[in-house]
Amino acid sequence: MDASLALRPYLAVCATRFALLLQYRTAALAGFATQCWWGVIKILVLAAFYRSDPHQPITLAQAITYIWLQQGFLAVLPWNVDAEITQMVETGNVGYERIRPIDTYFYWFAREAAWRTAAPLLRVVPMFALAGILLPLAGLGDWSWRLPSSLTAFAFFVVSMGLAVLLSAAITVLMDIMVTAFRTSRGSGVVAGFVNALSGMIVPLALLPKSLQPLLFWQPFAGLVDIPYRIYFGNFAGAAALWGLAAQAMWVVILVLLGRLFMARVMARIDMQGG
Amino acid sequence: MPQILVDGLSKCFRVAVRDPGLMGALRGVFRRRTREIVALDRVGFALDEGELLGFIGPNGAGKSTTIKILSGIMQPSEGKCVVDGLVPWRERTRHVARIGVVFGQRTQLWWDLPVVESFALLRDIYRVPETDFRRTKNRLVDLLKIAPLLDTPVRQLSLGQRMRCEIAAALLHSPRILFLDEPTIGLDAVSKLALRDFVKALNRDEGVTVILTTHDMHDIEALAERVIVIGHGRILRDSSFDAMRTEFQGDRRLIVEFEQAVPDVSLEAARLLSREGLVAEYAFDPRATPAHVLINRITTTHAVADIRIEDPKIEEVIARFYALHGATEA
């Protein structure tokens, strides 16, 4: 079977779900308002921090851009499970997913990749319009979302965000499998804690102690936020950018393999009792 | 070699049991007790290509469990099962690509999508070539009369409309085997008839092998030449429906309407079941006493306005069979 035929089901699942999720504009708008508010608060906190000690590995302007990127791409983060899969688990329907002649892992992966792409796409456009265009026009350029450091940086950033989406989808499917194994979505919030602390969501990882940097760079959650954003404003350039992409790609592969292993075990164990 | 071969198939479910009350819950923390429920107990049958098999049995008898194992989405505890040369749960993706399945109690379509988009997604999931897809889809849309529904999201369809779409969805990839798990459940009379006609034609004209489970004996009567009765996970009987009916038919009914009020009339070789005004209902065994003998007897002694003879309802036949085998719902 050639590659396009092999991939056809998964691309179709992804495209269909992507189109469906793009319809949820009201939720995106509500999220946008909240994210603006959070962005302002976080920037004020960072500004105070830089005033006390301006010598940091990234400049204040870069840190501010980091915050706006966070707010714009917030919905990339894998901090919740797929509500439809939770519902399938709770109603006992999850086993019926296996009636399709496709690999259940990649079937779910395609769903989640669509979700982690469509949701941020709806939010990032208005966020950039506000923080990247309106703020400078209003004379608040110091507080704005800056353009990428170069065209090359932007190209690397696009690739890196793509990998961030795949990484997020892999983590989301792991959470889905966890829900399936335990038959409840309670407890999946633990993952959100790790995502927040280790991705750079709470504090840009560059601002954490120097001795921790290698460790922070090579853990899976950095690839969701910290690596792509630092590539964007040129903090990771050249070889550093390539290492960043490599770290992301490595974690995608590891988490996909792990997910497939768990999926096979959980699905073999599923019993569907009752009519 | 039969197309579907099932041999010694068993399935046990392990369920956690908890003693009642707070102490019971506490005990359960330390020592978990489980109980085994036997859903299938050494079930075996063989089915040739083009056959139409009906599965009946009370709730919890093991019908759906059998379908789930046959369709590859659940593993049995023990036993053999080969469908078209494949072991369903071991070669799942190859197997499910060749079969069609409809579960009457759940939807296989996507709730939020219009029917036509669900179909397009299935086309890609089953990797059906576009030209084949268009031909099959148009034919199914015609036969099942779902053209006006295609642009409606699945969640807005009525049950009867949805079921027709489900059947179409299960056949878009032209499977040679179709499993229907309670396809008529909850449908109105018209929808049931339409569905039966469709399934019958599919089996007769295209030779698609069909296994269906149902509680509706009229489905069985209308469709299945062969019936498996299952109870408590065991096959109780595997025969043609007609044979079963003749054997378990039991008494026939004789309903007599007299011309004028008479005291209760007793008839030799017939039991008086009820009496309402001028109408009396008797039960008799047609093998011992033929109907014409009884009719002759009563018309010579009384003035009779009308006489009817009825077979017992199919439900009664089946209920009698279940009762005989102690197969009523656990």
Q: Which two tokens stand for residue B67?
A: 């379908």
Residue B191 contacts by C-beta under 8 Å, 6 or more apart in sequence? Answer: B159, B160, B163, B164, B184
B54 closest CA partner among B178, B189, B234 = B178
Residue in the block written with tokens 């849309």: B141
Q: Give the phi and the psi of residue B280 in degrees, each rounded to 5.
A: -120, 140
Give me the pLDDT at residue A173, please: 97
So what's the pLDDT on residue B323?
A: 81
- End-to-end alpha carbon distance in chain A: 37
* Helical (H) or strand (E) element with A217: helix A213-217
Map tokens 């109408």 to a residue: B279
By CA distance, what is A9's nearest residue in B? Answer: B125
* C-alpha B87: how far from chain center: 24
Q: What is the mean pLDDT of residues A68-96?
A: 91
Average pLDDT value for chain A: 92
pLDDT at residue A243, rounded to an integer: 97
| CA distance linking residue B155 with residue B112, whole number of Å | 7
List per-residue pLDDT tens for chain B, 330 residues long: 899 999 999 999 888 777 777 777 777 777 777 888 888 999 999 999 999 999 988 888 889 999 999 999 999 999 999 999 999 999 999 999 999 999 988 888 998 899 999 999 999 999 999 999 999 999 999 999 999 999 999 999 999 999 999 999 999 999 999 999 999 988 888 889 999 999 999 999 999 999 999 988 888 888 888 999 998 899 988 998 888 777 766 778 889 999 888 787 787 788 888 888 889 888 888 878 888 888 888 888 888 999 998 877 777 777 777 887 776 654
Chain B: residue nearest A270 by CA? Answer: B74
B23 close to B47: Cβ distance less than 8 angstroms? no
Residues of B within 8 A of A96 (CB-CB) are: 73, 103, 106, 108
Dmax (CA) of chain B = 80
pLDDT above 60: residue A275: no
DSSP B144-169: TT-GGGTTSBGGGS-HHHHHHHHHHH
Q: Would you put residue B269 in left (φ > 0), alpha (ψ -120 to 50) or beta?
A: left
Q: Is the pLDDT of residue A128 over 90?
A: yes
Percent of chain A whose pLDDT exceeds 90: 77
- Report residue B318 as tokens: 């089946």
| Chain B residues lying within 8 Å of A82, measured CB to CB | none
Which chain B residue's Cα is nearest to A5?
Answer: B127
Contact B68 A272 (CB under 8 A): yes
Please tell me the distance from the alpha carbon of residue B109 to that of residue B117, in angstroms, as a whole number.
10
Distance from CA of B194 to the nearest CA of A (A): 24
Neighbours of B207 (CB within 10 A): 11
Interface contact B124-A101, CB threshold 8 A: no
Residue given tokens 């450091």 in the structure block: A149
Kindly report the nearest CA distance between residue A124 and chain B, in angstroms.
Answer: 25
ipTM over 0.85: yes
Domains of chain B, residue spans: 4-246, 251-311
Give the pairing of strands B177-181 and B209-213: parallel
Distance CA B126, CA B98 (A): 9
Q: Which residues on chain A are in Cβ contact (under 8 Å) with B182?
A: 275
Partner residue opposite B124 with nearest CB, options A9, A93, A272: A9
pLDDT of B14: 81
Enumerate the residues of chain B whose CB falls inside 8 A of the CB of residue A271: 13-14, 74
CB contact under 8 Å between A9 and B106, yes or no, is no
Q: Which of A93, A98, A101 sits opposite B106 (nearest CB)?
A: A93
Give whole-number Cα distances, B192 to A66, A261, B73, B159, B314, in Å: 61, 44, 27, 11, 17
Q: Is the Cβ pair A8, B101 closer than 8 Å? A: no
pLDDT tens readout for residues A10-60: 999 999 999 999 888 887 888 888 889 999 999 999 999 999 988 899 999
Chains A, B: CB pairs < 8 Å: 70
Distance from CA of A128 to the nearest CA of B (A): 31
The chain B residue lying nearest A107, using CA atoms, is B125
Alpha-helical regions (H) of A73-150 = 83-90, 104-128, 135-137
CB-based burial, B180-191: b 16+ in 10 Å, e otherwise: bbbbbbebeeeb
Of A8, A20, A99, the CB nearest to B96: A99
| pLDDT at res. B130 | 95
User: Whole-angstrom Cα distance, residue B210 to residue B224?
Assistant: 9
Sequence-ordered alpha helix ranges (H) in chain B: 21-30, 63-70, 92-96, 115-125, 130-143, 159-171, 189-206, 217-223, 241-248, 291-301, 314-324
Nearest CA in chain B to A271: B74
Tens digit of each residue's pLDDT (9 = 90 or more) over A183-222: 888 877 888 889 999 999 999 999 999 999 999 999 999 9
- Residue of B37, B72, B127 lying closest to A9 (CB–CB): B127
Q: Are strands B4-17 and B33-47 parallel, antiparallel or unpaired?
A: antiparallel
Cβ-based burial of B272 (10 A; exposed 0-12, middle 13-18, buried ≥19): middle
Structure tokens at B2: 């039969």
- Do the beta carbons of residue A180 and residue A89 sit within 8 Å? yes
Asked if the Cβ–Cβ distance from A96 to B103 is below 8 Å, we say yes
Under 8 Å between Cβ of B208 and B202: yes
What chain B residue is nearest to A11 in terms of C-alpha separation?
A: B124
Can you give the pLDDT at residue B298?
87
What is the gyration radius of the CA atoms in chain B, in angstroms?
25
Chain B nearest-CA distance from A9, in A, is 4
Token representation of residue A53: 């000690």
A22-28: list long-range contacts, CB under 8 Å, 24+ apart. Answer: A22/A118, A22/A121, A22/A122, A24/A119, A24/A122, A25/A122, A28/A119, A28/A122, A28/A123
Q: Are strands B226-231 and B52-56 parallel, antiparallel or unpaired?
A: parallel
Class of domain B4-246: alpha beta
